[in-house]
Chains A and B, each alone.
Chain A
């Protein structure tokens, strides 16, 4: 209780200047320089430094930032921050699937009204929805391109076959390269992080997994239909790929240049430049294909029913670490607004090809990779407990060695389904 009073007292002290009429985000001509650290994704560190420099030059408040910018992968930023919260950057970028974890770990605080208005007025509604936990916006949408599609080698996979998984696999199987060297089909289904890709099979068959969080980022409820007839079909589809003799568990576009090269790599927008360098004009980009499963399982094309694979589509966000100084909070949010505004997102798109979340910037952005993503069948990236990915990962991994009959696959689905309750409790 004593601490609570102390905290409230400190808060009141911090609010005092604001109550006296000194606006934090406008009109304050007191010059002050904040030392901050910023974590950004690969390839954007130099650009971010330039953008912060521009902010310092144009900011009318007189407040400037002396920023130390470091590259930390968006997929690992929240994990790193959780393990060493004190050393977490003041501003950090992270993938959408990490949002609930960041809120739960008290790595993100609610935004002020100015930031919320700026985000809702300028960003794509889907990315704004993705930024919410318990109905409250917690971070600044940085991109809206976090999905995956298919890079392929036109010499191996015929263009008319790219819509069907069976045709693609048949093309690859039939291909004999120089010296009889075959080609692989690369899709990460069983390696680390494979569940992000394997989920596309479940969404293709109409399965759903929706998790509800409270304001603190706790997962309080879920609705998961993976354990169903549709889930069984999805697992059969996955098995079809896993048991393909030229399947390679990877999402690296560098596979195009491997000893035994891949003809298809399922990856995201971040792999475009490397894929282009590897294949040049032979590079083809297409949305994920559909797959066939009949009543007996391993259906060939035109037997049974076709299911269109669906990629997740989500955002990357820019978050602000909780601060004890309210002014610092306000100015950091102002900087984050700047770094995610139309101009900065355009610059980011031009530099590294990231698809903007800002509506105005997105309207003018067009590239083969972005177009493939726009044409893809998608599922909005939701919030999932971190354990959910691991459970899905284990189920798909076990499907590889499973006999493949309905009973054994259903057993895997049951194990998965039973494990979900533990996640809700946590």
Chain B
């Protein structure tokens, strides 16, 4: 149904706040729409009815097309998901921090509370725009008559008078909202910009308690479901043992026995081999590593000295290896428990199938299914294994290092390192310390750098592409080639070259002085603010060509008729850019923008090759023998700390963990709300 289409609707009975029975008449026929009595949100029932009306009319048959309704809810659901996640974090943060601060049970770690409060405030600040976006969306959907609650039945109805037009229905819905102390649309439209903002702000904070309640309930339900599922699994294991055949019971000890006895040879052998390799591994190696995992080693080496020959050294423990192999062992144990549970489950299923007299799948069918309906397992098994081994494991390993005292003093070889709890985090966040000051400033600059570097390249690259693409520009290939030349030279060469060029005793200063333009050299890298501007500008120089190439293709794909229509409607160039070019670009390049942002947070090359993080900021002191500088970002700080004279791997790990958190949280939020995650139809 188009929004502008007029239709006759009849609303019978008490529409609000009772559970509705909405009757309407359309094209001479009368209908009634029901919503379930246990609807989750009675306040939305009026809107629910409209949904079904709309859908019914569009489908032009007697039933409601529920899938269409649900699919249109995708974005809204995602927003809800983000909001709920953020709220949960917020609630957790506030609770923990207040608990920490009020009771002061653990004063040494007071910074945890402070940090959580900051997270809470940041989350609130981030939530507000999301809330506005969500409110906008709700309003749009409401006007379109598309709402989300499931409809059960649509039936013809008799006896009520068809009265209301679409406008009146809208009005009624807004009236309903006003009963909840909200402004009607007309009232809202009368407000000026500041009042609108304050109104949204007020509504946002007023809505928080309801959100809390709802999301807490949902979180509780999920936790409960998780607990229940574990308990069910345990019960199932017990039940299977009690009720299962003797073959099943033997499988508890000898994995795969049940499968083998049911002629599932392949599965049986695989289970057995897995168990055998696990046992062999644990006996030969895993037990050793796991046994030392708690201490990370006790004796580094033994020596034997002979005055004539010298000293022989026999290495005993190596903390690094113990940590790594211990972690691997834990992963293996988890994998074993999962596989063992799978084995038990399969035995139960086999028992059930046998009891019903049906035939079990043969090995041949198993193999065939791997190429057919189980093909996803075939495809995904290796990548998943790779991700676990090369991404998940190193990340966990890195995080664990942050809880040890691993540094130059305790390198795990000559001097073993061991667990130290939260000491390193405590050092980083110690109140008023130079280190916490440095961390705050470096984090702020990292985020500023990432945002400015990303968007400056993005917009300027796009403008360059638009300029080159513009009709009337001659020798377009030439301009593109000139820009692409920057890419042709390896970045580390061009950046080192530029770094020397702008050095205090470099050629740029020398030339300017020769020309008499300046009396003293300009400290391009010696002044903190100037150095920051310089790295941002030089990053534009190296980054624009990439964006220019990417956006050229996309810009050429925007349908020309959109611009023509806009021109006919009287849109100027700026309006066309804002309403056509930008939305299209954001839709297509959203993921690129996000990855670019993340890579800029970790943009080691540009910063390190240009300034090495300098000029050094001595007021922050040193960490691990490394003095951070004004242009130091987290990743170069991490590098400096690990390669500094005291090689503080433990602090580097803490910083790495924080980078991981910052990047993953931002990525998750942005990726979920970006337009590109919507379907193209939604976008259009």
Contact = CB atoms under 8 A, between A and B. Distances in A.
Interface of A: 3-4, 6-8, 10-12, 14-15, 18, 23-25, 79, 82-83, 85-86, 101, 104-107, 109-115, 179-182, 184, 190-192, 245, 248, 255, 258-262, 322-327, 329-330, 333, 386-387, 389-391, 393-394, 397-398, 400-401, 426
Contacts of A180: 513-514, 516
A390 B505 contact: no
A324 B642 CA distance: 29
Contacts of B309: 15, 18, 24-25, 112, 326-327, 329-330
A86 B324 CA distance: 16
Main DSSP-derived SS at the A contact region: helix
Contact of A109 (B313, B612, B625, B645): B313
B318 to A, nearest CB: 9
A189 to B, nearest CB: 11
Contacts of A179: 513-514
Interface stretch (B38-46, B61-69, B613-621): B613-621
A18 B308 contact: yes
Interface stretch (B8-16, B102-110, B299-307, B578-586): B299-307
A89 to B, nearest CB: 15
B314 A184 contact: no
Contacts of A107: 414
B308 A24 contact: yes
30 contacts: A18-B308, A25-B309, A83-B411, A85-B414, A106-B300, A106-B301, A106-B414, A109-B310, A110-B310, A110-B311, A112-B306, A114-B308, A115-B310, A181-B513, A181-B514, A248-B505, A259-B505, A259-B506, A262-B505, A324-B315, A326-B304, A326-B310, A329-B310, A329-B311, A386-B408, A390-B645, A393-B618, A394-B618, A397-B616, A426-B409
Contacts of A110: 305, 310-311
Given A109-B313, A390-B644, A261 B308 contact: no
B59 interface: no
A179 B516 CA distance: 8
6 residue pairs, one from A and one from B, having the closest CB atoms: A11-B304, A106-B414, A397-B618, A7-B302, A259-B510, A322-B313
B463 interface: no
A330 B642 CA distance: 34
Nearest to B642: A83
Given A85-B414, A260-B510, A394 B312 contact: no
B622 A330 contact: no
Nearest to A423: B646
B508 interface: yes
B313 A8 contact: no
A18 B516 CA distance: 78
B306 A386 contact: no
A82 B514 CA distance: 48
B369 interface: no
A124 B647 CA distance: 33
B638 interface: no
B310 A106 contact: no
A248 B509 CA distance: 13
A184 B305 CA distance: 54
Contact of A326 (B312, B612, B646): B312
Contact of B506 (A4, A25, A258, A386): A258
A22 to B, nearest CB: 11
Contacts of A397: 616, 618, 627
B415 interface: yes
Interface string B620-652: 011001110000000000000011111100000
Interface string B588-624: 0000000000000000000000001000101101100
Contacts of B626: 390
Nearest to B615: A190
B324 to A, nearest CB: 13
Nearest to A412: B618
Interface of B: 299-316, 408-409, 411, 413-415, 503-511, 513-514, 516, 520-521, 612, 616, 618-619, 621-622, 625-627, 642-647
Contacts of A112: 306-310
B306 A4 contact: no
A401 B306 contact: no
Contacts of A192: 612
A227 B305 CA distance: 43
Interface centre among B305, B521, B643, B645, by most chain A C-beta atoms within 10 angstroms, is: B645
Nearest to B645: A386
A190 B302 CA distance: 42
B622 A390 contact: yes
Contacts of B302: 3-4, 6-8, 11
A133 to B, nearest CB: 13
A400 B645 contact: no
B312 A329 contact: yes
Contact of B622 (A113, A182, A394, A401): A394
Nearest to A325: B312
B312 A14 contact: yes
Contact of A330 (B310, B409, B413, B612): B310
* Residue of B300, B506, B622, B644 with highest tally of chain A CB at under 10 A: B622
B313 to A, nearest CB: 4
- Which of B312, B506, B521 gathers the greatest number of chain A CB atoms within 10 Å? B312
A105 B646 CA distance: 12
A82 B505 contact: no
Contacts of B413: 82, 85-86, 105-106
Chain A CB within 10 Å, residue with most, of B309, B503, B616: B309
A387 B625 contact: yes
Most A CB contacts (10 A, CB to CB) among B311, B315, B513 go to B311
A106 B621 CA distance: 29
Contact of B647 (A82, A322, A400): A82
B405 to A, nearest CB: 11
A349 B642 CA distance: 35
A138 to B, nearest CB: 10
A3 B316 contact: yes
Given A86-B413, A326-B304, A329-B309, 7 more contacts: A85-B413, A109-B311, A180-B513, A181-B510, A260-B509, A326-B312, A329-B311
A234 B299 CA distance: 45
A280 B314 CA distance: 54
Nearest to A191: B616
A325 B313 CA distance: 8
Nearest to A400: B618
Contact of B314 (A10, A391, A398, A400): A10
Nearest to A190: B616
Nearest to A179: B514
A25 B310 CA distance: 11
A375 B245 CA distance: 95
B497 to A, nearest CB: 13
Interface centre among B506, B520, B621, B626 (most CB of A within 10 A): B621
Nearest to B312: A326
Contact of B308 (A113, A184, A401): A113
B317 to A, nearest CB: 9
A105 B411 contact: yes
A105 B412 CA distance: 9
Contact of A391 (B408, B415, B511, B622): B622
Contacts of B510: 181, 258-260
A12 B302 CA distance: 13
B47 to A, nearest CB: 63
A83 B639 CA distance: 13
Contact of B411 (A85, A329, A330, A333): A85
B315 to A, nearest CB: 8
B656 to A, nearest CB: 16
A15 B309 CA distance: 9
Contacts of B504: 248, 260
Contacts of B307: 112-113
A390 B511 contact: no
Nearest to A182: B513
A190 B627 CA distance: 10
Contacts of A115: 310
